[in-house]
Amino acid sequence: MHKSLNIDPGKCTGCLQCELACSLDNEGSFNPSKSRIKIFTFEDKGRFVPYTCTQCAEAWCAEACPTHAISVDKATGAKVVSDALCVGCKVCTIACPFGTINFNADTGKVVKCDLCEGEPECAKACPTDAITYVDANWTGLDKMRASAASADAAAKA
């Protein structure tokens, strides 16, 4: 059974601990700009919303990749980018409807959440449980996928 990140924006305080933990684990430095999870700030409302790759069942990023550099990690279900196959064309960044794949100018490759091989650092670092790693059936992921599918169907009509 796969797990996924569950994000509760109501609990997020905007402390950026998730971004710092992610960038340290993946890039070796405390640099939120290199994090694979981002905090969207609604300054006028005083609200914060963490967002990252939703690990879509029908990953448009993977389907769009001309070198097949994005594959599924069978253990976690995460869509992962192979640095050896990625040519940095950024087609996947355009294909992702959520904008959660980023280009790393230092490496010339794209980066996205890979669920830290099943031990997401962002969830471990979150002091308010705004980000948790739970059974995928508990996240409402199916509702989000259904919503994305109906939006896709409407766009094609």
- The domain locations on the chain are 3-152
Range 19-26 average pLDDT: 97
For residue 65, which of 47, 82, 44, 43 has the smallest C-alpha distance?
A: 82
pLDDT in tens, 55-110: 998 999 999 999 999 999 999 999 999 999 999 999 999 999 999 999 999 999 99
Q: What is the pLDDT of residue 141?
A: 55
Q: What is the pLDDT of residue 154?
A: 65
pLDDT in tens, 104-132: 999 999 999 999 999 999 999 999 999 99
> What is the domain class of 3-152 according to CATH?
alpha beta
**Mean per-residue pLDDT over the chain, rounded:** 91
* Cα(107)–Cα(127) distance, integer angstroms: 31
